[in-house]
Every structure is written in C-alpha cells, then in structure tokens.
A = this chain, B = another copy of it.
Amino acid sequence: MAYFSIGVDLGGTNLRVAAVDEQGAVLETIATGTAVARGRDTVIGEMCQAILALRDRFQQTAALVGVGIGVPGIIDMHTGMLRESPNLPGWGDYPVREEIERRLHTRIILENDANAAALGEFWMGAARDVPSMCMYTLGTGVGGGIVLDGHIWHGMTGMAGELGHNTVYPDGAPCGCGNVGCVEQYASATAIRRMAREAAGARESSTLGRALQADPHLSAQQIFRLAREGDAAAQGVFDRAGEALGIAVASCINALNLPMYVIGGGVSAAWEAFAPSMMKTIRARSFVYKATTPEDQTGQEGNATIITRALLGADAGLLGAARLPLMEQEHGGR
C-alpha cells in the first residue's frame, strides 16, 4: 500500500469516516452519532477529528492522497460551497472546502452524496465491470448519479444526476421541489410510508391498516415485511413504487443507452417487492431496453441492458467519496 484515502459520508442520521486503500479495501471506519441536525460547526469539528485520527493511524505506512466528502446537497464545483438546502441548515454560502482544508492541510473534494454512491458502486460494487452506469439511490428522498466512461458526469454546474425530481405522473403528488409527480414522491422511503397510509385509508380492514393503527410511524422496512407476508395493500404500495421507478429508468435508458442501471439506498432492500413491476414497466416503456435486451436474455450476455441492485449498501457513498482523491492522484492532480 503506497497510498490511502479518507472517505466521509455525511448522512442525515450519522457521520461515517473511513480510511480506504488504493485497491478499495476499507482499512478502518469511524461512525459517530453526529447527525447533520446537530449543526454545521459540530459536524465539521467531529469530522475533522475523525479524519485526523485515521490520518495519524495510517500515514506511517502510506501517504494520504486526500479526503473525499459526500454531502446531501448541491455543491458548487468551482467554489467548494454548498447551496442552501432544507437538509443542511446553515451550510449555504459557507466555504466548507476551504475551511476543512485550512484545518487539515490536505486536499478536500466535496461531492453530492448520490454521485459518491454511484462512484462507489462503479468502483467496487455492482457496476465494477462496466464503463458507464447510472444509479438511483432510494432513501428518504431519491438521488441519482451518472458515471460516463469512468467519471461522474457533473454537467455545467455540478447538478447533473438530479434524477429524483424527474416527472413520472404529470398530475401526481406534490413534491417539495415545487413540481408534482416527481419519482421521489413514489419510490422514496417517505413516499412508501405516505402511499401505505393512503392505501390503509382506502382498505382499513387490511393487515396494513391494522398495523398502521397500532403504529402510525410504521417504517418502509416494516411495510415491506407486510408485503412479503402476503398483504395485498402493502404489496400494492411497492407495485406503485416499482411502476414509477420503471417510468423514470425507462426514459434514462432511452436517453443514455448505458450498460447498467443500479438501484440502491435503503428502499432497495425491498427489491423483491418492487422489482417485478419496475422491470415490467421498463420493458413496456423503453424502446432502447427492448432493442438491446430480448425477453430471453435479461441482462446476462452481450449488449443487454442490466438493471440490478446495489451491492455495497451504506458503504457505497463512503467508498465513492474515498475514490475521488485517488482518481485525481491517478490522473495527475486536479
């Protein structure tokens, strides 16, 4: 091991920091309970402490190439600042990259968390054998990341891959972004819970209805369990999620004709519940999917388009973040 890197996953519920070697092996992970909600200065303080601890630990055997940080928000690639976001109160117009570089005297790269997750799956996960891929991260919201010929596609201002706000039902549910019918309103954990409440309202006698009466805060994971146990109302919720995601993925396939589309994030644990309706929708709606992927050849050979689950779970974002400074190192500086 000549080099190592540090990746940071700044999640809504906790902060994880890992030292990763150039082969993608995780050397050590520090997880703290520091939620974004505890405030910018607390988060940055604990993040820097964890980074320093890992640096001190491993720099005797290898050189630290830099720190990559996956952030749940939109980053101005030029200034290293974040746009103000509801998830990150107090972070807007604050020089995050500069401030951390000043404290640590090392190269810092900020990246949107869904982009980092896509790069992680591309490097070490489901997409490690393809040149390009797209990933949907189904969490509290729906994020997206696009990797083209080995590099995250950032677009003009670093905002590319905002796939969660693509319209799937033009007259659908209102979204916080100001649009209605975004895929995020059907395929996120938040949406699963909303659709379950709606379904239970319509069919109060179902198991789902009784479960929601007992616990109004039923999680997407618990709703998935009911679907797996055969509750039709709970299964209907995942059918709807799969259809919405299928409409979104079908359009992405037509536009980009990539070899692989990866579905990750917490909701992807319910793959068996939503994948059948998703795959049926993609086949019905994507001209390019049908042309590349005959019915008897779903993703295993030749130029078939592959739709698959993410493999790395929460480590995708951590590994992708750590990969960023390693890529710069390989390509000779910024």
Contacts and interface: CB of A to CB of B under 8 A. Distances in A.
A165 B255 CA distance: 9
Contacts of A286: 165, 179
Contact of A287 (B177, B250, B252, B288): B177
A178 B303 contact: no
Nearest to A160: B257
B251 A159 contact: no
B259 A163 contact: no
Contacts of A177: 287
Interface string A232-253: 0000000000000001001110
Interface stretch (A21-29, A149-157, A326-334): A149-157
Nearest to A74: B291
Given A148-B148, A178-B290, A287-B179, A254 B162 contact: yes
A155 B169 CA distance: 27
A171 to B, nearest CB: 9
A187 B87 CA distance: 38
Nearest to A163: B255
B156 A258 contact: yes
A141 to B, nearest CB: 11
A166 B255 contact: yes
Most buried by B among A74, A255, A256, A288: A255
Interface in A286-334: 286-288, 290-292, 303, 305
Q: Please give the count of copies of this chain that the complex contains.
A: 2
Nearest to A248: B251
A151 B259 CA distance: 19
A167 interface: yes
A168 B170 contact: yes
Interface in A261-291: 284-288, 290-291
A255 B118 CA distance: 14
Nearest to A156: B259
B155 A256 contact: yes
Contact of A156 (B74, B161, B163, B257): B257
A83 interface: yes
A158 interface: yes
A144 interface: yes
A82 interface: no
A146 interface: yes
Interface in A55-109: 74, 83
Given A157-B291, A157-B303, A159-B288, 14 more contacts: A144-B255, A146-B255, A146-B256, A155-B257, A156-B257, A156-B258, A157-B292, A159-B257, A161-B257, A163-B254, A165-B254, A165-B288, A167-B251, A179-B286
22 contacts: A83-B291, A146-B255, A148-B148, A156-B258, A156-B303, A156-B305, A157-B291, A159-B257, A159-B291, A160-B256, A161-B257, A162-B255, A163-B255, A165-B286, A166-B250, A166-B251, A168-B170, A170-B247, A177-B287, A179-B286, A252-B255, A255-B255
Interface of A: 74, 83, 132, 144, 146, 148, 153-163, 165-170, 177-179, 247, 250-252, 254-259, 284-288, 290-292, 303, 305
